[in-house]
Amino acid sequence: MGIFKTINNLLFIPEYICLFCKENLGDYSKYICNDCKELIEFIHREVDLDLNNINGIYYSIQYNRFIKEKIHSFKFQGKSYLYKPFGEILVETIKVKKLKEKVNAVAFVPLHRRKEGLRGYNQSKLLAQYVRDNINLPLLDKHLVKTRWTMDQNKLTKFEREENLIGAFKTMNHKDFKGKDILLIDDIITTGTTMEECGKVLLEGGAKTVTGLALTSSMKI
């Protein structure tokens, strides 16, 4: 019964409930009720991190207690369905900041295949798929890969983060993204080091520009 309930929860989430609190949605709004909306601080902001390989980095919402907890559930507690409300939030930033005028393809920060296997999904890929479906841009899903297992970035100093990621990513199927302006999606920005390293290999592989978009930033910026 327990297992059945779990599977049922994953496969069968009705469209009329808020996916954050599981309460009924009052007025029609996608996946997020008004009570939860009040706990989310929307900012849709560009941050200046002075990166060499990224054209600009944007993020959608403030990293407050509510969002911290929901992102934790999304990444570490199997609540993969949260890609829907979070994806909707990213789509809103794309509209507000007119990012569709700057990019013509979507990519995402990859996980090492072993980590993706353990988790069962890559949360950034789910977000990128949602963006593809809602703003109608092609998704580059077999192009940027993580080839090396690395330590968790959030446990390292800035210098160690850079060292940790050197040579960790590579690209393939270059002809598909040659000359493209890529929107690179991740769940959370810490220092921008991950995006910078992904941007580097995408540019080396032939991309014209790389713009970053994340849900939130855990850094005080």
List interacting residues with Zn ion (CB under 5 A).
18, 20-21, 33, 36
> Shortest approach of Zn ion to residue 41 CB, angstroms?
15
Helix (H) or strand (E) holding 187: strand 181-189
Q: Of 33 and 126, which has the nearer Cβ to Zn ion?
A: 33
For Zn ion, the closer of residues 36 and 128 by Cβ is 36
Please, what is the Cα angle at 63 between 58 and 64, to 5 degrees? 150
Beta-bridged to residue 146, according to DSSP, are: 112, 169
Closer CB to Zn ion, 26 or 138, in the complex: 26
Nearest distance, CB of residue 19 and Zn ion, angstroms = 8
CA 144 centroid distance within chain: 14
Contacts for 167 with CB less than 8 Å, ≥ 6 apart: 147, 148
Rank residues 8 and 34 by Cβ distance to Zn ion and give the closer one: 34
Residue closer to Zn ion by CB (options 18, 107) is: 18
Q: Least Å distance between CB 48 and Zn ion? A: 33
Q: In Å, what is the CA distance from 43 to each residue of 62, 93, 132, 214, 217?
A: 7, 9, 22, 12, 11
Q: How far is it, in rounded angstroms, from Cα 70 to Cα 217?
A: 14
Q: Could you tell me if 218 and 190 are in contact, meaning their C-beta atoms sit under 8 angstroms apart?
A: yes
Q: Residue 30 CB, nearest distance to Zn ion (Å)? A: 12
Taking the complex as a whole, the smallest distance from the CB of residue 33 to Zn ion amounts, in Å, to 3
Q: How far is CA 73 from CA 19, 109, 152, 190, 208, in A?
A: 12, 19, 17, 18, 35
Cβ contact 41:61 at 8 Å: yes
Q: At its nearest, how many Å lie between Zn ion and the CB of residue 24?
A: 9
Would you say 19 or 182 has its CB closer to Zn ion? 19
